[in-house]
Copies of this chain bind each other. A is one copy, B any other.
Amino acid sequence: MTEAQVCEQTRTRLVEAAREVFSECGFQGATVREICRRAEANVAAVNYHFGSKDELFAEALNFSGLKALQRANVAADACPEKRLRLFIRDFMLLLLDENNATSQCRMMARELAEPTPVLDKIVTEAIAPLHEFLGHLVFEIVGDKVSETERRRCMFSLFGQCLFYRNSYPVLQRLHPELRYDLDEIEAIAQHIADFSLAALRAKKSG
């Protein structure tokens, strides 16, 4: 193995460890030492490879999962309502499935409640497209009889419901200790959010 490959491996391990730790502890709570420990790398590795904790954080956020979700959704040859169901399900899997290799989405969710210097990047690169995407989907469902402001609020209602399960997990865990985000539970949650929201959207449309 060449030196360059070893270097690349270390970088990769660092990024993966960073995602783990950041999504568990948030940006402030995460320590460079812990990330390096999990990546089995040197304490100085983060600064060596990325320059700073901030830049590692930015690097760890690449949103490939989110983009794949959107691509898959577009590719699905289905009616808007079905695509909304699909979107919610995929989004919840990204947010809740601990076995999911890509924890960027969980990082992002944490970030929302604890802005860091890289929030601008997150918003521009990931959230804005996502909002645009979902906004379009909502438009397809409710049509233009519903004002743009109101459609936007519908979108917020959708995101709010989804993010709640991730952001309020520490609370839910205390209120309902038996709660586990296994695949069945995630599917059931996704279905609830879809049913709940589609009923509301249909009412908007016809209202």
Partner of A114, one of B29, B152, B176, B204: B29
Q: B159 to A192, Cβ gap below 8 A?
A: no
Q: A26 to B114, Cβ gap below 8 A?
A: yes
What CA separation (Å) do A172 and B149 show in the bound complex? 13
Number of copies of chain A assembled together: 4
Q: What residue of chain B has the Cβ atom nearest to residue A26's Cβ?
A: B114
Q: B196 to A157, Cβ gap below 8 A?
A: yes
> Chain B's nearest CB lies how many Å from the CB of A114?
6
Q: Which of A119, A128, A152, A168 has the most CB of B within 10 A?
A: A168
Residues of B within 8 A of A203 (CB): 195, 199-200, 202-203
What CA separation (Å) do A203 and B81 show in the bound complex? 16
What CA separation (Å) do A202 and B115 show in the bound complex? 37
A1-58: which have CB < 8 Å to B?
Answer: 26, 28-29
Q: What residue of chain B has the Cβ atom nearest to residue A196's Cβ?
A: B200
Q: A153 to B189, Cβ gap below 8 A?
A: yes
Residues of B within 8 A of A28 (CB): 26, 28-29
> Chain B's nearest CB lies how many Å from the CB of A191?
9
**A75 close to chain B: CB less than 8 A:** no
A156-207: which have CB < 8 Å to B?
Answer: 156-157, 159-165, 167-168, 170-172, 174-176, 189, 192-193, 195-197, 199-200, 202-204, 207
Interface residues of A, Cβ cutoff 8 Å to B: 26, 28-29, 109-110, 112-115, 119-120, 122-124, 127-128, 131, 150, 152-154, 156-157, 159-165, 167-168, 170-172, 174-176, 189, 192-193, 195-197, 199-200, 202-204, 207
Nearest 4 interchain pairs by C-beta: A160-B164, A199-B203, A113-B113, A160-B161
